[in-house]
Chain A
Amino acid sequence: MQPLELSAIDLVAAVANGDLTAVECTQAALDRIAALDPGTNAFLHVDQASALAAAEAVDAKRAAGKPLGPLAGLPVGVKDALCTRDMPTTCASKMLEGYQPPYDADTVARLRAADAVIIGKTNMDEFAMGASNENSAFGPVRNPWDATRATGGSSGGSAACVAASMSTVSIGSDTGGSIRQPAGLCGVTGLKPTYGRVSRRGLVAFASSLDQIGPMAHSAADCGLVLETIAGHDPLDSTSLDEMVPSYTQMLEEPLAGIRIGRVPAHFGEGLDPEVAAAVEEGFRVLEAAGATIHDIDLPHAKYGVATYYLIAPSEASSNLARYDGVHYGHRTSEPCRSDAFDSPLVEMYCRSRAEGFGPEVKRRIMLGTYALSAGYYDAYYKRALQVRRLIRQDYLDAFAKVDLIGGPVSATPAFPLGEKTDDPLAMYLLDLYTVTTNLAGVCGISFPCGFTGSGLPIGYQLQAPALAEPLLLRAADRFQRLTEWHRRRPPSA
C-alpha cells in the first residue's frame, strides 16, 4: 500500500487498523520530500528525526492498545507562519531566520494531540504577503504541474506539498485568498474557514481581522477531516468563535437537491481567461447535475474588494510587523549604528535592522499601511475602507438571503510563469480579485479543481458559504468531487 496515494481518511483508517504504520507513512513522505523538494522548494524546514519520533510514538501508542487520535499517523505540512516549539518559524523572512518560538500554535497543538505527524514547515510569501510565493526570502516554490510556473500564494508551499504528494494534507493561512488561490493553481482543495472558526493563536499575524488558518488536501472530505481537529473555541484568542464543531465528515451524504447556488455575472467579465471561464461554467453544470439550482446574483460592492483589502490588510500589517525591530528577537543589524544620518543610534538600529530583514513587498505594505493610518489620511483611507468593508459584508448577507452558496472562479488565470508579475505589484494584487471579499466579509470559502487547461494546468472553482456554513460548503464540494475526477489527477512528476 502506497501511503501517499491514499486519501487522509483512508490513511488514518489504515493506520488505525494496522494496515500501515505511522512510521511507514512518515518515511514515505520524507522519502518523497528528499526526492522532489529540491526541485519544488515547498519546505523550508524538515526534521526527519523529530517527524519519525512523532510517528514512532503513534505506533507505540497503538501497540500498547491505547486509543489513537483522529489524525493518527497523518503526514501534515504546516505553513511556516504557524509557531512550532520544536522547529524554526520564519514566515519565509530573513527577519525571523532561525527564530524558534517557545510555544506551539493552537492548530499545531491540536494536530499533535490528534496524533498527526508534522512533517515540516512549508514555504510561503514573506509574512504571507503575496500571491505567487515569489516573495519568500528563501526562494520561490515551483508549481508541481510546471516547474517554470508559480504556485500562487501565499500558502504556495502548503499547496505544492499536497499537489506533489509530499504530504497527505497541509495547513495554510488565508488573509485574502492565500489558501484558495494556490490550491486553485496547484490543483488541490483548500478551505478558508469562517473567521474565528480556527484559533489564530500562534499564527504569525499579517492582518489580524482577516487572517484565518485552514486545511489543504486532495479532497473536500479530507479538508473536513482536518477541520474537525483544528476548529474550535480557544479562550486565548478573543476573536475565536465559541461554537460547537460539527462532524464535517459525517455530514456529506445528504444530496444537493434544493440547494441554491449564486453565480455573479460580473465574475465573468474582462480579464477572465477563456479556458478558466469555460471550466468554471462547466463547474456550475456539475453542481446543477447534483441537484442544485443556479441563480444569477449581484455583489454590488465586490468591485471595491481589492482596493478595500489593500488598505485594511497593510494598515493592520504595518502595526503587526512593528515588533520586528531588532530589539528583543529576530534580525538585528550588525552595523555599528553611529552614523549622524539618523536621529539616534537606536533609530539607526531600527532602520537598518528592518531595511535588512524585510523584503521589498513587506516594506511596500508597511509603507502603504503606515500611510493609510497617518493623521490626515486615516479618514480618507483606513476609515473609508472600513465603511466599504461593511457594505461588502452586507452584500454577502443580502446574497445569502437569496442563495445558499456562491460559486465562481478562484483566479482569473491558471498558474503564471515565475517572474511574470514580480515587477508589477498592481497586477499581483489583482490576483486576489475573486478571493478577498470572502475575508472582508468573514465568511467561508473553498477552492477545488474543476478542469485543466489545454497545456495541462489545473483550474480552480470556488464556492463561498455564510459564516459557519462549512458543513454545506464541504458537502457541496464533496458532491462535486464524487461526480468528477479532476481532484484525482496528479502532476506528471508525481
Chain B
Amino acid sequence: MPEPTDNAAPYTTVIGLEVHVQLLTKTKLFCSCENRFGAPPNTLTCPVCLGLPGSLPVMNREAFRLAVRAATALDCTIAEFTKWDRKNYFYPDLPKGYQVSQFDLPFSEHGQLEAIDPKGAFEPRMVRILRVHLEEDAGKSMHDESAGTADSRIDLNRTGTPLLEIVSEPDLRSPAEARCWLGELRLLLVYLGVSDCNMQEGSLRVDANVNLHIPKADGSLAKTPIVEIKNMNSFRSVERALTYEVVRQYEEWQATGKELGSAPKQTRGWDDAAGITRGQRHKEESSDYRYFPEPDLVPVTLTVDEIAAIREGMPESPRALRKRLEETWKIPAYDADVLVGQGRALVEYFETLARLVDDGKVASNWMQQDVLRTLNEQGIAIDAFPVAAAGLADVIGRVKKGDFDTSRGREIFAEMIASGRSAEEVVAAMGIAAVGDDELMALCRELVEANPKIVADVQSGKQQAAGGLIGQAKKKNPNVNPGQVRGLCLKIIGELPAP
C-alpha cells in the first residue's frame, strides 16, 4: 500500500503519467520528409506519410538511435529484438487508417526517474517507468464548428513524425510531485538532445491517470475509479488539473461511494480557463485497435555491444550534473538546481566562469543575479549572451583585487552587456582607474589641510563632518573609494596635534 504523503489528507493520491515526446530528427520516422514545426499546412508530405496506395515505410535509424538514448537515460532495459505493430483505427488525421507503433515488444521497458524538489517540499520520489516505445505521430485536425458549418481541416505535416511514448507506473503521490517529475523528464530529454519538449508546439504532451486510495473505517481500502485527464498544455496545468481532480474524486466518492471496477475508466478534459475537468464523451465500448505485426517493416535488432556503446556515449544527466556542481564548486543544492535547470550551455558558462575566478559561490551569485536576470529580461538564451565568461571573470577579478567595489562592478558589467565592449574598454570609457595608495594618501592630506573647519568639527567629536571631505574627494577623483577616503582622513586628523 502506498504511503500517504499529505498527513492531513484522508486518502493517498495515486498518479501515473503517459508522456508523448516528439524526437528532434531531421526527417520523419518512415519517410524522408522534413520533421519541422510551423511550416504551411500540408507542405511537408510525400506518398508515404500521406498513406497513398503502394507507399512503403523505411525506418529512420536516427529516430531509433535517439529513442534508445532516451530510454537508456531513463534506466530502461533495451531490447535486443523489437518489432513494429499496426494500431488500427479510423480518423481523418490518420491517413493510412492505422498508426505504426509498438505493442507487445517495445524497444525498452522497466526504467526509473526520480523527482526531487530542490526546496524540499516533498521527499525524493523514485518513479518506475513501465515502458518507452517509438511510434509515428498523427496529423492535426482543426475543427471549425462556428456558424454550424462544422468544417474540418487537416494538416498532415506532423503525420509520421517520430514520437516517443513514455509510460510511468502509478508511483506519483501528489500533483506537485507530478509537476516536478515532468520537469525532470523534460530537462533530461532536452539535455540528451532528443527533443525540444515544447508543450506549446505539442512536442511534449502529457496525459495523467489519477485515482485515490481511501482508507475506510473497517481498515480496508477504497479505490476510486481511474480518470485519465487530457488537454493539459503546460506543467502548471497538469498540477492544477490533478489538484482539481483529486478534490473532485474525493467529493464524488463521498457522494456516491463508487469504486474502481464499478465504472469504466473515464476520460476527462482539462478546461484551463474554467479551471475544471469535464467528462468527455465515452468512446463506444473500449476501442479494439486490432494490433498486429507491421508486415511492411522488418524487426529491429541491436547487439549487446551496440547497446553498451550507446550507454557509454551517454552525456551527464541533469541529476549527476547537479551533484557534481555542488561538490566541485561548493555551491548549495538550490544554486545547482537553478543553474542545471537553465540547460547545459549555461552550466558550461558557469563552470568556465567558476574556473577563471576560482570561486564557485561568487560565480554562482553573479550568474543568478546578473546573467540570469539579463537573459530573462532580454528573453535570450546563453548562446546569445553578449559577454563571454572570460569577460565576466575579468570584472569579478577586478572587484576581488579591489579596483572597484561590487556595485561598481555590476555597473561595469551592465555596460559591457549593453555595449558589447570589454571590461577594460568600459573602465577606460567611464574614466575608472584604480587609485594608488600614495595618490589617495596625498589627496586626503590635501583635503585635511584645506578644510580646517571640518577638521575642527571632527576633533570636537562630530565624526559625521568627515562626509564633507568625501564629497570633495569624489569631485577631485571620481574613482576614489568613499570608505577608504573616510578612513584615511579620520586617521590623518587623529594623528594631528590636539587643538
What are the residues of chain B within 8 A of A315 when measuring CB–CB? 292
Instruction: Map CB proximity to A onto B71-102 as digits: 1 under 8 Å, 0 otherwise.
Output: 00000000000000010101010011110000
A residues touching B (Cβ–Cβ < 8 Å)? 82-83, 89, 91, 96, 99, 101-103, 105, 200-205, 207-209, 235-239, 315-316, 318-319, 321-323, 325, 327-329, 343, 345-346, 350, 370, 373-375, 378, 382
Of A238, A316, A323, which contacts B53 at CB under 8 A? A323
Q: Which of B293-301, B358-366, B445-453, B473-481 lies at the interface with chain A?
A: B293-301
Query: Contacts A322-B90, A374-B290 given: A238-B58 contact, CB under 8 Å?
Result: yes
B59 at the interface (CB under 8 A from A): yes
Query: Contacts A345-B150, A375-B288 given: A329-B295 contact, CB under 8 Å?
Result: no
Are B53 and A89 neighbours in the complex by a CB distance under 8 Å?
Answer: yes
Are A105 and B54 neighbours in the complex by a CB distance under 8 Å?
Answer: yes
Are B53 and A101 neighbours in the complex by a CB distance under 8 Å?
Answer: yes
Minimum C-beta distance from B290 to chain A (A) = 4
Minimum C-beta distance from B255 to chain A (A) = 31
Cα of A163 to Cα of B59 in the assembled complex, Å: 41
For B55, B96, B298, which residue has the most chain A Cβ atoms within 10 angstroms? B55
What are the residues of chain A within 8 A of B150 when measuring CB–CB? 345
Cα of A343 to Cα of B91 in the assembled complex, Å: 14
Query: Contacts A238-B296, A370-B290 given: A322-B96 contact, CB under 8 Å?
Result: yes
Query: Contacts A373-B290, A378-B292, A382-B292 given: A323-B54 contact, CB under 8 Å?
Result: no
Cα of A398 to Cα of B92 in the assembled complex, Å: 47
Cα of A382 to Cα of B85 in the assembled complex, Å: 14
Minimum C-beta distance from A35 to chain B (A) = 32
Given contacts A202-B55, A345-B150, 14 further A-B contacts (CB under 8 A): A82-B54, A91-B53, A101-B54, A102-B52, A205-B53, A208-B295, A237-B58, A238-B59, A316-B295, A318-B88, A319-B97, A319-B290, A328-B154, A375-B290
What are the residues of chain B within 8 A of A82 when measuring CB–CB? 54
Cα of A118 to Cα of B288 in the assembled complex, Å: 43
Are A205 and B54 neighbours in the complex by a CB distance under 8 Å?
Answer: yes
Minimum C-beta distance from B412 to chain A (A) = 60
Are A201 and B55 neighbours in the complex by a CB distance under 8 Å?
Answer: yes
Cα of A103 to Cα of B296 in the assembled complex, Å: 19
Cα of A344 to Cα of B95 in the assembled complex, Å: 19
What are the residues of chain A within 8 A of B297 when measuring CB–CB? 238-239
B residues touching A (Cβ–Cβ < 8 Å)? 47, 50-59, 86, 88, 90, 92, 95-98, 150, 154, 284, 288, 290-292, 295-298
Of B47, B96, B291, B295, which contacts A103 at CB under 8 A? B47
Are B92 and A346 neighbours in the complex by a CB distance under 8 Å?
Answer: yes
Are A323 and B47 neighbours in the complex by a CB distance under 8 Å?
Answer: no
Are B54 and A201 neighbours in the complex by a CB distance under 8 Å?
Answer: yes
What are the residues of chain A within 8 A of B56 when measuring CB–CB? 200-201, 236-238
Of B58, B284, B291, B295, which contacts A209 at CB under 8 A? B295
What are the residues of chain A within 8 A of B296 when measuring CB–CB? 205, 208, 238-239
What are the residues of chain A within 8 A of B54 when measuring CB–CB? 82-83, 89, 101, 105, 200-205
Beta-carbon nearest neighbor of B57 in chain A? A238
Cα of A378 to Cα of B289 in the assembled complex, Å: 11
Query: Contacts A103-B47, A319-B292, A373-B292 given: A235-B58 contact, CB under 8 Å?
Result: yes
Query: Contacts A315-B292, A319-B98, A319-B290 given: A96-B58 contact, CB under 8 Å?
Result: no
Cα of A82 to Cα of B54 in the assembled complex, Å: 8
Beta-carbon nearest neighbor of B285 in chain A? A375
Cα of A249 to Cα of B295 in the assembled complex, Å: 32
What are the residues of chain B within 8 A of A201 when measuring CB–CB? 54-56
Minimum C-beta distance from B282 to chain A (A) = 11
What are the residues of chain B within 8 A of A237 when measuring CB–CB? 56, 58
What are the residues of chain B within 8 A of A321 when measuring CB–CB? 97
Beta-carbon nearest neighbor of A347 in chain B? B90
Minimum C-beta distance from B372 to chain A (A) = 48
What are the residues of chain B within 8 A of A202 when measuring CB–CB? 54-55
Minimum C-beta distance from A323 to chain B (A) = 5
Beta-carbon nearest neighbor of B96 in chain A? A323
Beta-carbon nearest neighbor of B92 in chain A? A327
Are A373 and B53 neighbours in the complex by a CB distance under 8 Å?
Answer: no
Cα of A322 to Cα of B290 in the assembled complex, Å: 12
Beta-carbon nearest neighbor of B150 in chain A? A345
What are the residues of chain A within 8 A of B55 when measuring CB–CB? 201-202
Are B97 and A323 neighbours in the complex by a CB distance under 8 Å?
Answer: yes
Of B50, B53, B292, which contacts A204 at CB under 8 A? B53
Beta-carbon nearest neighbor of B297 in chain A? A238
Minimum C-beta distance from B339 to chain A (A) = 45
Are B284 and A343 neighbours in the complex by a CB distance under 8 Å?
Answer: yes
Per CB-CB distance, the 9 closest pairs between chain A and chain B, nearest first, are: A322-B97, A208-B295, A373-B290, A209-B295, A204-B53, A202-B54, A83-B54, A375-B288, A323-B51
Cα of A322 to Cα of B86 in the assembled complex, Å: 12
Are B51 and A328 neighbours in the complex by a CB distance under 8 Å?
Answer: yes
Are A83 and B53 neighbours in the complex by a CB distance under 8 Å?
Answer: yes
What are the residues of chain B within 8 A of A208 when measuring CB–CB? 295-296
A-B contact pairs, 25 of them (CB 8 A): A89-B54, A96-B53, A101-B47, A103-B52, A200-B54, A200-B56, A205-B53, A209-B295, A237-B56, A238-B57, A238-B298, A239-B295, A319-B88, A319-B97, A319-B290, A323-B53, A323-B96, A323-B97, A325-B90, A328-B95, A329-B52, A343-B284, A374-B290, A375-B288, A378-B290
What are the residues of chain A within 8 A of B290 when measuring CB–CB? 318-319, 370, 373-375, 378
What are the residues of chain A within 8 A of B97 when measuring CB–CB? 319, 321-323, 325
For A316, A323, A346, which residue has the most chain B Cβ atoms within 10 angstroms? A323
Are B298 and A102 neighbours in the complex by a CB distance under 8 Å?
Answer: no
What are the residues of chain A within 8 A of B58 when measuring CB–CB? 235-238
What are the residues of chain B within 8 A of A99 when measuring CB–CB? 53
What are the residues of chain B within 8 A of A322 when measuring CB–CB? 88, 90, 96-98
Cα of A96 to Cα of B55 in the assembled complex, Å: 15
Are B288 and A374 neighbours in the complex by a CB distance under 8 Å?
Answer: yes
Beta-carbon nearest neighbor of A89 in chain B? B53
Cα of A315 to Cα of B413 in the assembled complex, Å: 70
What are the residues of chain A within 8 A of B98 when measuring CB–CB? 319, 322
